[in-house]
């Protein structure tokens, strides 16, 4: 009896189609149930034979980490694409764009990290693989580069430490995201599709960067 084929692949013959399908299915399962998945659970959801996973991944953990790394990379690339153009619009408006994009990034990344906290080997493997050129670290360096460009244009103080300002931005955004995930916001809810009140964050960043 031939192994079942995923319905999604019935009209797709690309050599990497099944691998991409397995990653996408695992991303959905992790979002719904966390990282404690079984190979059989993934195969059933993907509508493939149980052994199909091992044609593309060393084991179930390899597939789970791959799915998480690709999710993190996609969120990071979305953030970098949202960076404002130095010198365009106002510095305040650009900082608000940065803050909103940073909150969206943290909302996407925090479930990936926190879901791994109870599995040290999986967490170690995730961090070892995510710190490549597509990893979240590119978001910090891109933010510092944007801030330095604004400094070079004279719109932000050269006295300000761009790395420290980026750290404040990411730290504040992480707090917004964690509060949003916990559902303990006192005023406006923060979550996918909702915008937190970023005025206070932008005001602090502006004071730090004021020429």
Residue 209's pLDDT is 95
Say how many CA atoms lie within 13 Å of 210 toward its Cβ: 6
Q: What is the pLDDT averaged over residues 104-133? A: 84
**CATH 1.10.357 describes domain 71-209:** yes
Q: What tens digit of pLDDT does each residue of 33-55 get? A: 888 899 999 999 999 998 889 98
Average pLDDT, the chain: 84
Residue 192's pLDDT is 46
pLDDT higher than 70, residue 10: no
Question: Quick check: 156 and 211 in contact, CB under 8 A?
Answer: yes
Residue 40's pLDDT is 94
Question: Quick check: 110 and 181 in contact, CB under 8 A?
Answer: yes
Residue 189's pLDDT is 47
Residue 34's pLDDT is 85
Q: What percent of the chain has pLDDT over 90?
A: 54
Specify the higher pLDDT residue, 128 or 80.
80
| Across 166-175, 176-185, 188-197, least confident range | 188-197
The kind and range of the H/E element at 72 are helix 60-82
Q: Record the pTM.
A: 0.80
Residue 183's pLDDT is 61
Question: Quick check: 32 and 67 in contact, CB under 8 A?
Answer: no
- The shares of helix, strand and coil residues in the chain, as percent rounded to the nearest 5, are 65, 0, 35
**Fold for domain 1-57?**
Arc Repressor Mutant, subunit A (1.10.10)
Q: Where are the domains of the chain?
A: 1-57, 71-209
């Amino acid at each position: 009896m031939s192994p079942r084929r995923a319905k999604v692949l019935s009209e797709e013959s690309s050599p990497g189609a099944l691998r991409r399908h397995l990653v996408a299915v695992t991303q959905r399962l992790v979002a719904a149930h966390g990282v404690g998945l079984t190979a059989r659970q993934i195969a059933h959801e993907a509508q493939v034979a149980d052994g199909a996973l091992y044609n593309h991944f060393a084991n179930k953990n390899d597939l789970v980490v791959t799915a998480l790394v690709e999710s993190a990379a996609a969120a990071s690339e979305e953030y970098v694409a949202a960076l404002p153009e130095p010198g365009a619009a106002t510095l305040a408006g650009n900082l608000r764009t940065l803050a909103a994009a940073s909150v969206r990034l943290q909302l996407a990344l925090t479930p990936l990290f926190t879901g791994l906290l109870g599995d040290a080997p999986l967490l170690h493997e995730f961090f070892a693989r995510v710190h490549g050129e597509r990893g979240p670290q590119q978001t910090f360096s891109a933010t510092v580069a944007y801030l330095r460009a604004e400094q070079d244009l004279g719109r932000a103080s050269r006295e300000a430490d761009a790395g420290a300002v980026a750290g404040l931005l990411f730290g504040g955004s992480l707090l917004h995201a964690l509060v949003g995930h916990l559902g303990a916001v006192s005023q406006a809810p923060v979550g996918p599709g909702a915008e937190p009140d970023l005025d206070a964050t932008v005001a602090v960043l502006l004071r730090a960067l004021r020429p």
